[in-house]
Amino acid sequence: MEIVNRAEPPTGLRRRLWRLPIRLYRMGLGPLLGRRVMLLNHTGRVSGLRRQVVIEVVQHDEHGYVAASGFGPRADWYRNVMATPNVTIQIGGKVVQATAAPIETGDGAEIMARYATQHPAAARRLCKLMGFAVDGGVDDYREVGTHIPFVRFTPRGDGA
C-alpha cells in the first residue's frame, strides 16, 4: 500500500454531484440506493444547523452501521458527529435514531480488510478515490484501514 495523493473533500461542481443522492432521499427515493448507502442527518459543529450527507455503509451487524470517512478526519460530517454524536440515519426507507462513535484503528483495519474481500471492485475504487495505491492483497487493505477513521452508528432505543 502506498499513499499516492490524499484526496481533499470535493468542492464546486464535484461537491454538487456528490450531493445528488441527498436529493433522491428527499424525494422519497432512498430505497433505490440500496442498503449500502445511508443518509446521515447530523448537527453542524459550528453553525448548530442540521446537515446531511450520503455515505456508504461498509458494515452492518447487530451493533449498528459502520461508515468510513474516506476524506479522513477533516471531513465535515466526521468532525460534526464527533462533536455531536446524536444523529439520525436513513437506510433505504428505514429511519433510525443513532449515536455515532469512533472505531479503534485496529478494528477499522479489520473492517476494511473484510470490506475488500466482500466488495473487491468497490474497495479498489474507494482506495483510488482516497489516494491510496493498493496491490489488491488483504494486507494492503488492512493498512489502508489504519489511515482512515471509521464510525459506528449504534441505534438508540430512547427515541431521542
Q: What is the pLDDT of residues 61-97, one digit of tens each?
A: 999 999 999 888 989 999 999 999 999 999 988 999 9
Phi, psi of 133 (to 5 degrees): -100, 125
Distance, in Å, from the CA atom of 30 to the CA atom of 96, rounded to the nearest integer, reads: 14
pLDDT for residue 158: 59
Does 114 score more than 80 pLDDT?
yes
DSSP state of 47: T
**Per-residue model confidence as pLDDT tens digits over 43-71:** 999 999 999 999 999 999 999 999 999 88
Q: Are strands 132-133 and 150-155 parallel, antiparallel or unpaired?
A: unpaired
What region, left, alpha or beta, does residue 81 occupy, with left being phi > 0 and alpha being psi -120 to 50 degrees? alpha
> Residue 84, SS3?
coil
The pTM for the full model equals: 0.89
Composition of the chain by helix, strand, coil, percent to 5: 40, 30, 30
> Looking at per-residue confidence, does 139 or 129 come out higher?
139
pLDDT for residue 121: 92
Give the homologous superfamily in CATH for domain 2-155: Electron Transport, Fmn-binding Protein; Chain A (2.30.110.10)
pLDDT for residue 6: 67
Count of beta carbons in the 10 Å neighbourhood of residue 103:
19
Residue ranges of domains in the chain: 2-155
Q: Which residue has the cell 471531513?
A: 75
